[in-house]
Amino acid sequence: MDKIAVLVPCYNESKTVKKVVEDFRRVLPEAVVYVYDNNSTDGTAELAQEAGAVVRHEYQQGKGNVIRRMFREIDAEVYLMVDGDDTYPAEAAPEMVKKVVEQQSDMVVGDRLSSTYYTENKRPFHNFGNSFVKNCINRFFDTNIQDIMTGYRAFSYQFVKTFPVLSHGFEIETEMSIHAADKHMQVDHVIIEYRDRPEGSVSKLNTFSDGFKVLTRIMNLYKNYKPLGFFSLLSAILAVLGVAFLIPILTEYWQTGLVPRFPTLIVCGFVLIAALQSLFAGLVLQSMEQKNKQDFEMQLIAAHERYQELLKDGERGA
């Protein structure tokens, strides 16, 4: 088992990957730097290998697929995930690792938004999107994570081996943040100095399509992690619509004793039944989610036992 594993997912980062590998090897000489190439066509893998990284490949396109492969294949005491675009300073890595080792953090977030992100980043919609997503998640999940979509994070062994990677693309960071908040894992922050991509390096993010994917993922995760809140909201909306259309019918019936709009009355009845069903669905799914949380605690115990076994094996090997 590695002491520290630096995980660098890459897709066409030939302009920057060599510097990223060299920087992290310099500040974390005891770490193994893994570059996972995701079908690059510009020689990224070769440059990373020349710089001293262990190069592996993931052939399913998408950052989420790369992270899934990394987490599955690598055993380490501490994991440090960083993008290969040289926008994150390697100098912050020792402090992030220290929080995992000494303060038992499950996830350490490299916080860009509290420092230079809004001045360095030249894409205003990205600035708005990061703030919007942060506020949504902190409100929905009652947490206080300062940078939801940063690609610079440190993890414990227990987090990595119990995190179910479901996203395929750039929504993965959002999924990590929500998972940590929902499972009451210890999340700490290190403020980092973000810098924009160097000249010639091109972002793979599409502001609108990827932003839509992130928002869709937030709603899906809210439904899965907070089913009572989601279905109660849906039930309330249906109930309001049903009652709003039902009131004129009842008023007319009280005044005349007649119900001339039977189709509307029937639809209102079905809408109110759907509202009731939605509420009960939320109650049932909330009970199931509680059981999932109990099972997750047992998974954490099993992961911790496996972690201790790997440490003992390493000591015997040494």
Distance of CA 313 to the CA centre of its chain: 32
- One-letter amino acid at 102 equals E
Cβ count within 10 A of residue 266:
10
pTM metric for this prediction: 0.84
Tell me the pLDDT tens digit for each residue of 224-257.
999 999 999 999 999 999 999 999 999 998 988 8
What pLDDT, on the 0 to 100 scale, is given for residue 259? 85
Residue 197, both tokens: 């991509």
Residue 54, both tokens: 């262990």
E-strand stretches of 84-137? 107-111
Domain ranges of the chain: 2-225, 227-317
- CATH code: domain 2-225 is 3.90.550.10
Residue 57, both tokens: 């490949």
Written as one string, the DSSP assignment of 39-69 is S-SSSHHHHHHHTTPEEEE--S-SHHHHHHH
Reported as a pLDDT band with limits 50, 70 and 90, residue 205 is low
Give 178's contacts (C-beta < 8 A, 6+ positions apart). 137, 141, 218, 221, 225
Measured distance CA(4)–CA(188) in Å, rounded: 18
Cβ count within 10 A of residue 233:
14
Predicted confidence (pLDDT) at residue 199 exceeds the cutoff of 80: no
CB 32 within 8 A of CB 224: no
Residue 317, both tokens: 């090997």
Tell me the pLDDT tens digit for each residue of 113-170.
888 777 776 666 667 777 888 888 888 888 889 899 899 999 999 999 999 998 888 8
Tell me the pLDDT tens digit for each residue of 253-297.
898 888 888 899 999 999 999 999 999 999 999 999 999 999 999
CB 1 within 8 A of CB 310: yes
